[in-house]
């Protein structure tokens, strides 16, 4: 995504992607900055796929097997980012708090943490609940409001779940991790976040001494 590429282009230090998957963001980031991106993922298969794709693209990725909730870096990062709403796969407040705390511990004083997540829209949920969709693959969405959860079930029966969060919940996570908000956008074009926005795009940072 260009948004994450642009953030990485402002850095000179280590860049880390959480849940790197097949490398579809890390590869263009590495191409843009001219140095390896550290990719963290809990799936050996995804790490292998990312290595293969990086080789085909002629770039180097530093692939590391790990859980973002246990993030530990040998050198603090200047940018840590988590694209594609992956943080929503963490089911509990404790999981997210642990992740944010580990990210905060892994950032340089001038570092940034960026991620995106959907803003829950009950109108959209009503339209989609229980209905089959063909894209990006055939699936059915089911919304469980009491659990803030949406299940995406494939024809094979495999299910992937997302747990949404409100703006105040994200802001609370930022606060308890000892970070501060740099920007909250309503989309990747850096448009202002409004009551009508349907995507959270966050950039946060450690507090500078003169701002604490």
The string of pLDDT tens digits covering residues 60-69 is 999 999 999 9
Q: What mean pLDDT do residues 203-208 have?
A: 95
- 188-202 residue pLDDT tens: 999 999 999 999 999
Cα 36 from Cα 15, distance rounded (Å)? 8
Q: Is the peptide bond before 42 cis (omega within 30 degrees of 0)?
A: no
Burial of residue 87 (CB within 10 Å: 0-12, 13-18, 19+) is buried
Whats the size of the chain, residue-wise? Answer: 212
Q: Note the helical H segments in 34-186.
A: 44-57, 93-105, 122-128, 167-176
Reported as type and span, the H/E element at residue 9 is helix 2-9
The packing angle between helices 44-57 and 26-33, to 10°, is: 40
Give 210's pLDDT tier (boundaries 50, 70, 90): low
The packing angle between helices 93-105 and 167-176, to 10°, is: 50
State both tokens at 154.
Answer: 């494939």
pLDDT recorded at residue 212:
45
pLDDT recorded at residue 208:
82
Percent of the chain with pLDDT over 90: 94
Question: Quick count: other Cβ atoms within 10 Å of Cβ 115?
Answer: 24
- 140-184 residue pLDDT tens: 999 999 999 999 999 999 999 999 999 999 999 999 999 999 999
Cα 7 from Cα 114, distance rounded (Å)? 9
The CATH code of the domain at 2-119+164-211 is 3.40.50.150
b/e map 199-212, b = 16+ CB within 10 Å:
ebbbbbbbeeeeee
Domain boundaries, the chain: 2-119+164-211, 120-163
pLDDT recorded at residue 1:
80
Task: Identify the sign of the CA torsion 66, 69, 70, 73.
Answer: positive
Cα 42 from Cα 142, distance rounded (Å)? 26
């Amino acid at each position: 995504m260009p948004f994450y590429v642009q953030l990485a282009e402002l850095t000179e230090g280590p860049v880390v992607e959480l849940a790197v998957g097949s490398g579809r963001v890390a590869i263009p980031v590495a191409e843009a900055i001219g140095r390896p991106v550290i990719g963290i993922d809990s799936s050996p298969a995804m790490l292998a796929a990312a290595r293969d794709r990086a080789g085909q693209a002629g770039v180097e990725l530093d692939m590391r097997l790990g859980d973002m909730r246990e993030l530990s870096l040998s050198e603090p990062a200047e940018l840590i980012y988590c694209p594609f709403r992956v943080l929503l796969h963490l089911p509990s407040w404790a999981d997210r708090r642990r992740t944010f705390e580990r990210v905060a511990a892994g950032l340089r004083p001038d570092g940034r943490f960026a991620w995106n997540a959907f803003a829950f829209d009950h109108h959209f949920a009503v339209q989609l609940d229980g209905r089959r969709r063909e894209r990006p693959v055939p699936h059915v969405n089911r919304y469980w409001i009491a659990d803030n959860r949406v299940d995406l079930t494939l024809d094979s029966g495999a299910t992937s779940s997302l747990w949404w969060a409100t703006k105040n919940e994200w802001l609370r996570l930022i606060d308890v991790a000892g970070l501060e908000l740099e920007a909250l956008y309503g989309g990747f074009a850096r448009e202002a976040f409004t009551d009508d926005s349907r995507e959270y795009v966050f950039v946060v940072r450690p507090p500078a001494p003169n701002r604490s």
